[in-house]
Amino acid sequence: MNEFVAPEIDWAVLSPVLVVLAAGVVGVLVEAFVPARARRVVQLVLTLGALAGSLVAVALLWDRVLTDGLAFVVDGTVLLTPFTLGIQAVVALLALLGVLVVADRTSTGQDAFAPTAAAVPGTAYEDAARQAGLQQTEIYPLMLFATGGMLLFPATDNLIVLFIALEVLSLPLYVLCATARRRRLLSQEAAFKYFLLGSFASALMLFGIALVYGATATVSLELAVSRLANPDSPVLTMMPDLVIAAVLLISVGLLFKIGAAPFHTWTPDVYQGAPTPITAFMAACVKAAAIGAMVRVLFTLAAGLDEPLRRDLETGLWVVAILTMLVGTAAGAVQTDVKRMLAYSSIAHAGFLLVAMVGLDEVGAQAVLFYVLAYGLATLGAFAVVTLVREQDADGVVLGEATHLSQWAGLGRRSPLLATAFSLFLLSMAGIPLTAGFLAKFGAFSAAVEAGAWPLAVIGVLASIVAVFFYVRLIVLMVLTPPVEETADDGVTPAGAVAADGTPDDGFRDGEGVEDGPEPARTGTLTAARALAGRAAVVVVASQGPTAVAITVCAVGVVLLGIVPAAVLDWTTQAAAFRPFGP
């Protein structure tokens, strides 16, 4: 009989992922055993500690992986290359900043999350929960689990693990999307759309994985590729054409996660509806992790495909990249909601990332790594700024975020520092020189030109120019346009405003209003669909500290990467020395 042989596991290789996931499990226990009063602090310390620990683990592994070219556990179930480690470092860093934004309660003393997400919006139960001062500290373990999935996603050669990592990454995010304190209906709707489309995409990807397994009798990507490259291998005689369908289906799953057209439709809705700190976390980290996985899968596959198939793959990438850039910039230019605008901008950035990797070579990988860092810092910072610009009703009660673009007019006079930081992030996204975004785009387009894809680079540059238009429009609005007249005292209460929006009144009204009669939302748990553009005053709330730190770090990062990028460019070049796993 076969005897069980315990596999030898190199725990050091697992450490970046393991630290985060273990802390997530401990976080769940904290929820059960630590008294409610102390939970938030304990969770915060645990979460920040785990993410910092993960960064340290990556740093400790760096030299070893760089020397050996790769490190792996049990046949590449977890596989670290320098590029993977680079992506893990970026994800852990951005997640750390994301947690800071999530933790901030601002000067209003409330975080961005519902006291109990299970309560029906606008009910007495919700009120009671709010008045009892409940808070949902489960946010932090959920973020840790999602981050763990993101760290694992690009770090595996095994398609089973790839799928599991995708789900570990996605499921907590679906829940997190539904937990907003304000505009809860939108938040739940975002979670619902994200969930249905996300699980549809992962089901497609799973079928692709099944087809790879069917065609090659293995779930190891490298092994599958080496069998594909060798047409004499016995399993392949069965059905070689399965591979094309498989590659297509797996690509759909990955493209969905990075938000590339035509699989982008969820992005604006989810980014708009989710609590803004979660949007910041999601926009920055998921994109980094998913593009890392995409580089890993497509680069490995491309190495094994024969010339015509490889060319087909590149053509596919071309089409998707062009479509993504066009959709992102064209739709972004006509948005009136700042979160939606940033969402379309993130779609456009997915397109630029695809342009960078279209050559499927090391230059592309290097450009991708630098790009996700530059993009992540700018996006996270921008959404962090959005969390601080709020609406205020006639009684001076701070409500949800003022997301309508017209509400941002004159922000530069209200809060010059915040407006400066936001302008900086927008300029970086636009790719203006002396910011990180410029070098990132330069790297991406020159990688494409080097790979002979100069038409793509030209389209990319054109799309960037169009994008400059809508970024600069917002900056002009903030700096040069005077603030709109504050019309909050025209007697329209939030509840009335909702009714005016044509939203059914039943159960949709502001929760607090139900109990206190004429007095409008004391805590501003507005369940209304939209921002009260023009009907509420805009106010900039002060950060308690963490968000300010995150914004500062992002701003400094964006500037430093733009002015003295040498160290980081060296680092990405080292990391991109992409060596395939196996013989």
Residues that bind another protein (CB under 8 A): 117-118, 120-121, 160, 163-164, 167, 171, 174-175, 178, 184-186, 188-193, 195-196, 199-200, 203-204, 206-207, 209-211, 213-214, 217-219, 235, 238, 268-269, 272-273, 335-337, 340, 503, 507, 529
Specify the 3-state DSSP secondary structure of 545. Answer: coil
Specify the 3-state DSSP secondary structure of 79. Answer: strand
Nearest CB to another protein, comparing residues 196 and 417: 196
Nearest CB to another protein, comparing residues 90 and 219: 219
Q: At which residue do the structure tokens 């619902």 appear?
A: 192
Specify the 3-state DSSP secondary structure of 77. Answer: coil
- Number of C-beta neighbours around residue 128 at 10 A: 14
**At its nearest, how many Å lie between another protein and the CB of residue 1?**
15
Q: What share of the chain is helix, strand, coil (3-state, %, to 5)?
A: 70, 5, 30
**At its nearest, how many Å lie between another protein and the CB of residue 255?**
17
Q: Report residue 384 as tokens.
A: 């962090």
**At its nearest, how many Å lie between another protein and the CB of residue 385?**
21
Q: Measure the N-to-C terminal CA separation of the chain; round to a whole number of Å.
A: 31
**At its nearest, how many Å lie between another protein and the CB of residue 17?**
17
CA distance 543 to 75: 47
Specify the 3-state DSSP secondary structure of 165. Answer: helix
Q: In the beta sheet, which residues pair with residue 392? A: 398, 537
**At its nearest, how many Å lie between another protein and the CB of residue 533?**
13
**At its nearest, how many Å lie between another protein and the CB of residue 357?**
28
Q: Are strands 398-401 and 71-73 parallel, antiparallel or unpaired?
A: unpaired
Specify the 3-state DSSP secondary structure of 1. Answer: coil
**At its nearest, how many Å lie between another protein and the CB of residue 528?**
9
Nearest CB to another protein, comparing residues 194 and 445: 194
Nearest CB to another protein, comparing residues 120 and 462: 120
CA distance 256 to 261: 8
Of 430, 303, 304, 298, the C-alpha closest to 356 is 298
Q: At which residue do the structure tokens 């992962």 appear?
A: 202
**At its nearest, how many Å lie between another protein and the CB of residue 374?**
28
Nearest CB to another protein, comparing residues 296 and 404: 404
Nearest CB to another protein, comparing residues 177 and 537: 177
- Number of C-beta neighbours around residue 39 at 10 A: 18
Residue ranges in 305-410 assigned as alpha helix (H): 307-333, 338-357, 362-388
**At its nearest, how many Å lie between another protein and the CB of residue 188?**
5
Contact status, residue 139 vs residue 181, Cβ threshold 8 Å: no
**Helical (H) or strand (E) element with 149:** helix 139-152
Give the dihedral sign, CA 541/542/544/547: positive
**At its nearest, how many Å lie between another protein and the CB of residue 277?**
19
Residue ranges in 178-306 assigned as alpha helix (H): 184-216, 221-229, 242-258, 266-273, 276-281, 287-304
